[in-house]
Structure formats: structure tokens, C-alpha cells
């Protein structure tokens, strides 16, 4: 048997994939896990951007050309002063030449800056497009246990606020960062060539600047990570409250929930203030050191020019170039908050991508071929959290084409049994097979295409009724979706809606009743034409009229298919071909309704209890 599942944490990379495998050697603490998941985000971003090398090359050419054009302006000023203005009338021609060269350099700077903005923006947006696609597809590849443990709001934050932070930095910030870095290096090289003495004087403030930057960075990194975490917590709480707003209002919990939200909101406020305090210390210090450097160069340069060591044009050009040295430092320091926010967002996004699915296709996995639909559980054990098993050495066979009901008390293992048959999980030991094919050895896609699980509460997507049935927005499928509903007798119910099958559904189908939402799920299941159908009983909490429609639809849906239904009403179980009775994760009894009543065991006790409660109702 091929084992592909590691731990069920759904958070960290997996190590051993044997039956008892748990977390790998990744850190157990939350902070350690974040560091583990966030390792080398810039290297990984580079790996994603590298295939776009043509766009990068073109953008680099424009950046370099723009930087060189900017360097020409101070040289024109130097030439105009020393060879033009300083020589009076004899230097008029040189002055005009310097003016023309400076004007041309400014025009070239404008042109190349415009082109670099366009190309860098195009490159940044292409990367963000790729990253959004990658994260979205990866989230869909994860297992149900991941979503059981992860707040939806956090995932929404990853795809919204985190991507937005990246976007803010990638489009404008990246341009500033690249052009500033290049301008700094080229200007520094020119300064050394012009006057090494002035260069040493200008850079005398550099040790203080480096020290301030090191201190700021060490304190800023955790502060910005904290901001991203607080943002995700606020969004998670907001999403949860919006989804459950009717429950909140029904229990008059508005004030209490507002207090909880206020606590998270204030925590985000404090986290943002922490970063603001750091900025208020660092950014003015950078600006002060830059102005101090200008003052030092102006004083020392004037002394050298007065003594004839250098020309006044050199001092003027040097001051202009000096702005190209410290202005980039100031720009980058002002950009640092965006960079830190983007870096933290990148760590979070790659943290999501570091989550590996518990269920993965084995390299030798083959497509599932359902010929008859016989399902076998062979000595299956399964743990959500050790040491108590959810299923304990379960062995049972579900005959091909049979309608099977699974019954038992809450926590008996009914849902777990069905979820293993749908391969939402792989067993920790034992084997689940369909037509003698181990589900752990077949491709997940083939399982999803031939085995459909219908939950008790039907989920409704934004779109029309027929689009929800088809799970597709292709207009060519509209008639097929309508035919599917008609085949199981549901067309009158949907046609009675305001716009029939074209009725638009929003807010998870709030205009539909719970029963109507379940009818959409049944029509959706029929449209998929599965070979095996797994259901969490759909008619357990709806009105009698809708329950009748559901029963009729189920009769058409289950015809000719193997089906396993988690039966909450024992009348449903009584009509099944076979009943599987579960107790404390084990198979207690298997048989028909009449056989199990005669045994006077678990099922007979459940039936008696249910009959008494039904008669009271």
C-alpha cells in the first residue's frame, strides 16, 4: 500500500509518511514555525521572477540609461562654470554647449524614467499575477483538515492586504529602490574620481548612518511582521462576524462582539504605532546626517577651491552628485516601511505556499476506474489527534450498487467513515478500496471526478441557479444544468423562483431556503454524474414538503449508483439496502433494518429511542 499522508497539521512541511508520522523537525513554536515557513523569501521570489528575464533585461537597460542621463547634468554644470562662466565672454560658447547638453540630459532622463516606470511596473504586475495564481491554486490543493484549522479570514488577508502591500512596494518602491541604488553607486564612483578628499569628507557621516540603519532594521523586522499578523487577525474576525451576523444579532451579541473586535483593532493600532515610533527616530536621523554631509562638503570644498586645489565648478558638481548619494539613502529609508511591509507579506504568502497537502498523488498513481462501485474498508484505523482513534480497525464491505446508511450516536465515526471513502483523508493504517483499487494508490483528480460527497448544508456560490448547478459559468452548459434538474424532478421548484434558473444568488444563496439550497446541491451532484455518491442526509432539518422533494430527487439520483448516506433520521436508514451501525469508532452491527431489529442490539436501541422521540413530536 502506498502511503502519501504525513501529519494532519496542515501547516508545515511533512517528513516521514508512514502511519504514525507527525511533524517534521520544523520548530514547534509559532515564532519558529513562521521563521521556518518564511525562510529565504527573496530567493524564492527571485526564482519566480527569473523566467521573466527578457522584461528584466529591458527594464534594466532603461534604469541604467536613466541613471547615466542624470549623471550627465552635474558634469554639464561643472563644464559650464569652469569653462564658461569663469572665463567671461570667452566662455559664452562653452556655456551654451553646457546648457544644451544639460537640457538634452534632462530630456533623456525624463524619457528613460518614463520607460523604466512602465517596464518595471509591467514586470511587477506580472509577478503579482503569477503569485496570486500560485497561491490560489495551492490553497485549492490543500486538504479539508487544513481549512478546519485555518481561519478563512487569514487566507483572505494573504490574498488581499498582503498582495496589496507587495503591490505598493513592487510598482513604485521597486523603481525607487533600483534607480536609487544604481544612482548611489555611479555617483559615488564619480565623486571619488572628481576628488577623493571631498569624498572622504562627505562619507565621514557614514559610520553613524550604518549604525542607525542596523539598529533600525533589527527592531523594525519583528515590528512589521507583527503588523501583518495583526492585520490578518482583524480581517479574520471581520470575515467571521460578517458570515455569522445573523447569529450575532439573534443572540444580541453585537456589543460583546464589538468589544472583541475593538481589542484586535487596538492591537493593530499599537503595532502600527510601534513602527511609526521607529520611523520617527530613524528617518529624521538619516536626513540630518545627509544635511551634515552637505555642510561638511560645502565648507571643506570652499576651502579647497579658495586655495586653488580644485575649481568652483567641481564643488558645485560635487554637491549635485552628493544629492545623488544621500537622496537615494533618504528615499530608501522613507521606503523602508513599505519594504518591511512587503517583506512581511512575502513571508506570509510563501508561508502559505510552504503548506504541503496531506494527500498527494504518488508518482506511480493511476486513475481510478469505477466499474461496479464496491467499497471495502480493510482493518482501517484513523486518528485526528492521537491517542484516541476516530476509527478503530474498521472492516466492512459496501456492495456495488447498494444504498447504504451509516447510523450511530454523535462522535461514533460516521462522518469519518464517509470522508475516508471520499478520500478526504487517507487511513493511518489499513486500506480503503473501490473495486479492489486502493484509494491511496490512485490519482486524486480521478477520485473527485467519480466520487461526489454532498454535505448536509449546500453551499451556494455567487451566480445564477444554473451556474451553481453546473459549477461553471460557461453559457453553453446552461441547458445541460437545467436538464439535470429536470431529470431528478426539481425543475418546477427552480422555475418558480423570480427569474427561474437565471435567478441571481448572492450571500451564499440567502434568498433560498435551507431546503432549496440542498436541492441545488443534489442537482449539482446529478450534473457531475458520479459513479459513487456519498451524502450527509439532506432531509433531516427541512419542512415536510421540501423533504418530499428531496426524497424524490434522491431516488432518481441514487438509481444505479453505490451510495453511502450518513442517516440522521432512522426512517432513511430503514429504507436502505444495508445499514452500518457505528459505535465509538468501530463497526457495531451490519445488516438490513429487519435483521438488526431482530438482533435487539445497538440499532434496535437506537430505533426504539428514535421512535419514542418521534411519537412525542
The pLDDT, as a whole number, for residue 371 is 92
Confidence of residue 480 (pLDDT cuts 50, 70, 90): very high
- pTM tops 0.85, yes or no: no
Is residue 303 packed enough to be buried (19+ CB in 10 Å), middle (13-18) or exposed (0-12)? exposed
Per-residue pLDDT, averaged over 132-136, amounts to: 83
Report which of residues 344 and 267 the model is more confident about: 267
Classify 321 as helix, strand or coil: helix
- The predicted structure's pLDDT at residue 395: 95
Asked if the model's pLDDT at residue 468 lies above 50, the reply is: yes
Long-range contacts of residues 110-114, Cβ cutoff 8 Å, at least 24 apart: 112/62, 112/63, 112/65, 112/66, 112/69, 113/66, 113/179
Q: What is the pLDDT of residue 245?
A: 72
Q: Is the model more confident about 473 or about 319?
A: 473
User: Could you report the per-residue pLDDT of 493-516, keeping only the tens digit for each?
Assistant: 999 999 999 999 876 777 888 888
What are phi and psi for residue 264, nearest 5 degrees? -65, -40
Q: Percentage of residues in the chain with pLDDT exceeding 90?
A: 26
- What's the pLDDT at 24? 34
Is 405:577 a contact under the CB 8 Å cutoff?
A: no
| Sole residue written with cell 475593538 | 262
pLDDT of residue 1 exceeding 60, the answer is no
Q: How many CB atoms lie within 10 A of CB 420?
A: 23
* Tens of pLDDT, residues 543-584: 777 778 888 888 898 888 999 999 988 888 998 999 999 999
Closest CA to 37 of 176, 197, 229: 229
User: Per-residue pLDDT for 526 more than 90?
Assistant: yes
Mean pLDDT, the chain, rounded, equals 80
| 379 pLDDT tier (thresholds 50, 70, 90) | very high
- CA distances to 145, 247, 248, 256, 462 from 244, rounded to whole Å, are 21, 5, 6, 14, 18
Candidates 102, 42, 9, 32; CA nearest to 384 is: 9
Question: Is residue 108's pLDDT more than 80?
Answer: yes
Q: What is the pLDDT of residue 78?
A: 65
In this predicted structure, what is the pLDDT of residue 28? 43
pLDDT digits (tens, 9 = 90+) for 21-52: 333 333 444 444 444 434 466 677 777 777 87
Rg (CA), the chain: 34
What per-residue confidence (pLDDT) applies to 25? 34
- Local confidence band at 2 (pLDDT 50, 70, 90 cut-offs): very low
Given a cut of 70, whether residue 191 has pLDDT beyond it is yes
Mean of pLDDT values over 520-536: 92
pLDDT of 347 reads 79
180: cell is: 536609487
pLDDT confidence of residue 422: 92
Range scoring the smallest mean pLDDT among 40-44, 185-189, 286-290, 599-603: 40-44
* Per-residue pLDDT at 538 exceeds 70: no
Buried b (16+ CB within 10 A) or exposed e, 129-155: eebeeebeebbeebbebbeeebbebbb
**Highest averaged pLDDT of the listed ranges 165-174, 208-217, 466-475:** 466-475
Confidence band, pLDDT 50/70/90 cuts, at residue 174? low
Amino acid at each position: 500500500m502506498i502511503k502519501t499522508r504525513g501529519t494532519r497539521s496542515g501547516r508545515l512541511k511533512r517528513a516521514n509518511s508512514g502511519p504514525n508520522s507527525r511533524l517534521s523537525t520544523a520548530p514547534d513554536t509559532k515564532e519558529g514555525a513562521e521563521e521556518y515557513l518564511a525562510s529565504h523569501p527573496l530567493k524564492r521570489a527571485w526564482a519566480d521572477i527569473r523566467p521573466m528575464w527578457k522584461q528584466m533585461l529591458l527594464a534594466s537597460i532603461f534604469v541604467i540609461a536613466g541613471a547615466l542621463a542624470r549623471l550627465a547634468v552635474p558634469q554639464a554644470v561643472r563644464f559650464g562654470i569652469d569653462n564658461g562662466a569663469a572665463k567671461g565672454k570667452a566662455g559664452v560658447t562653452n556655456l551654451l554647449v553646457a546648457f544644451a547638453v544639460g537640457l538634452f540630459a534632462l530630456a533623456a532622463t525624463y524619457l528613460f524614467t518614463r520607460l523604466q516606470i512602465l517596464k518595471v511596473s509591467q514586470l511587477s504586475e506580472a509577478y503579482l499575477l503569477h503569485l496570486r495564481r500560485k497561491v490560489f491554486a495551492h490553497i485549492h490543493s490543500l486538504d479539508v483538515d487544513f481549512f478546519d484549522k485555518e481561519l478563512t479570514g487569514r487566507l483572505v488577508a494573504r490574498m488581499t492586504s498582503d498582495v496589496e502591500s507587495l503591490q505598493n512596494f513592487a510598482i513604485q518602491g521597486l523603481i525607487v529602490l533600483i534607480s536609487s541604488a544604481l544612482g548611489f553607486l555611479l555617483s559615488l564612483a564619480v565623486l571619488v574620481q572628481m576628488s577623493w578628499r571631498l569624498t572622504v569628507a562627505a562619507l565621514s557621516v557614514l559610520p553613524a548612518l550604518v549604525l542607525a540603519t542596523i539598529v533600525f532594521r533589527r527592531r523594525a523586522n519583528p515590528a512589521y511582521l507583527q503588523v501583518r499578523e495583526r492585520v490578518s487577525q482583524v480581517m479574520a474576525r471581520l470575515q467571521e462576524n460578517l458570515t455569522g451576523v445573523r447569529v450575532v444579532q439573534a443572540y444580541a451579541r453585537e456589543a460583546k462582539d464589538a468589544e472583541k473586535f475593538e481589542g484586535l483593532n487596538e492591537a493593530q493600532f499599537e503595532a502600527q504605532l510601534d513602527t511609526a515610533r521607529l520611523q520617527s527616530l530613524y528617518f529624521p536621523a538619516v536626513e540630518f546626517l545627509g544635511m551634515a554631509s552637505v555642510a561638511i562638503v560645502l565648507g571643506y570644498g570652499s576651502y579647497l577651491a579658495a586655495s586653488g586645489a580644485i575649481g568652483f565648478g567641481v564643488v558645485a558638481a560635487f554637491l549635485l552628485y552628493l544629492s545623488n548619494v544621500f537622496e537615494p539613502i533618504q528615499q530608501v529609508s522613507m521606503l523602508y516601511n513599505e519594504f518591511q511591509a512587503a517583506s512581511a507579506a512575502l513571508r506570509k504568502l510563501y508561508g502559505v505556499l510552504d503548506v504541503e497537502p496531506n494527500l498527494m498523488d504518488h508518482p506511480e498513481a493511476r486513475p481510478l476506474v469505477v466499474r461496479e462501485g464496491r467499497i471495502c474498508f480493510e482493518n482501517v484505523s484513523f486518528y485526528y489527534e492521537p491517542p484516541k482513534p476516530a476509527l478503530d480497525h474498521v472492516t466492512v464491505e459496501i456492495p456495488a450498487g447498494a444504498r447504504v446508511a451509516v447510523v450511530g450516536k454523535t462522535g461514533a465515526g460516521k462522518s469519518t467513515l464517509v470522508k475516508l471513502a471520499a478520500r478526504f483523508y487517507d487511513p493511518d493504517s489499513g486500506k480503503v478500496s473501490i473495486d479492489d483499487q486502493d484509494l491511496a494508490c490512485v490519482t486524486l483528480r480521478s477520485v473527485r471526478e467519480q466520487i461526489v460527497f454532498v454535505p448536509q448544508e449546500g453551499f451556494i456560490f455567487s451566480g445564477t441557479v444554473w451556474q451553481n448547478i453546473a459549477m461553471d459559468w460557461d453559457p453553453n452548459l446552461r441547458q445541460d444544468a437545467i436538464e439535470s434538474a429536470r431529470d431528478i424532478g426539481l425543475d418546477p421548484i427552480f422555475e418558480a423562483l423570480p427569474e427561474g434558473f437565471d435567478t441571481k444568488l448572492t450571500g451564499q444563496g440567502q434568498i433560498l431556503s435551507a431546503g432549496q439550497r440542498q436541492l441545488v446541491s443534489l442537482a449539482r451532484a446529478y450534473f457531475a454524474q458520479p459513479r459513487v455518491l456519498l451524502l450527509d442526509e439532506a432531509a433531516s432539518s427541512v419542512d415536510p414538503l421540501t423533504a418530499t422533494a428531496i426524497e424524490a430527487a434522491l431516488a432518481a439520483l441514487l438509481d444505479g449508483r453505490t451510495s453511502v448516506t450518513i442517516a440522521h433520521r432512522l426512517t432513511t436508514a430503514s429504507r436502505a439496502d444495508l445499514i452500518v451501525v457505528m459505535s465509538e469508532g468501530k463497526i457495531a452491527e451490519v445488516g438490513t433494518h429487519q435483521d438488526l431489529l431482530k438482533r435487539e442490539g445497538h440499532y434496535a436501541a437506537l430505533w426504539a429511542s428514535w421512535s419514542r422521540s418521534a411519537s412525542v413530536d
